[in-house]
A and B are shown apart, each in its own frame.
Chain A
Amino acid sequence: SQQGEEDPQALSIQEGENATMNCSYKTSINNLQWYRQNSGRGLVHLILIRSNEREKHSGRLRVTLDTSKKSSSLLITASRAADTASYFCATDAGGQNFVFGPGTRLSVLP
Chain B
Amino acid sequence: NAGVTQTPKFRVLKTGQSMTLLCAQDMNHEYMYWYRQDPGMGLRLIHYSVGEGTTAKGEVPDGYNVSRLKKQNFLLGLESAAPSQTSVYFCASTLLGASYEQYFGPGTRLTVT
List residues of chain A with CB under 8 Å of any chain B CB.
Answer: 2, 4, 30-31, 33, 35, 40-45, 48, 88, 90, 92, 95-103
Contact = CB atoms under 8 A, between A and B. Distances in A.
Contacts, number: 60
A30 B96 CA distance: 14
29 contacts: A30-B99, A31-B98, A31-B99, A35-B102, A42-B90, A42-B104, A42-B105, A42-B106, A42-B107, A43-B90, A43-B92, A44-B104, A45-B101, A45-B102, A45-B103, A48-B101, A92-B97, A92-B99, A95-B98, A96-B97, A96-B98, A97-B33, A97-B45, A98-B45, A98-B98, A98-B102, A100-B43, A102-B40, A102-B41
A43 B102 contact: yes
Nearest to A47: B101
Interface residues of B, number: 25
Given A31-B98, A92-B98, 12 more contacts: A31-B99, A35-B102, A41-B106, A42-B4, A42-B104, A42-B106, A43-B102, A92-B99, A96-B31, A96-B50, A97-B45, A100-B44
B48 interface: yes
A88 B107 contact: no
B61 interface: no
A97 B42 contact: no
Contacts of A98: 33, 45, 98, 102
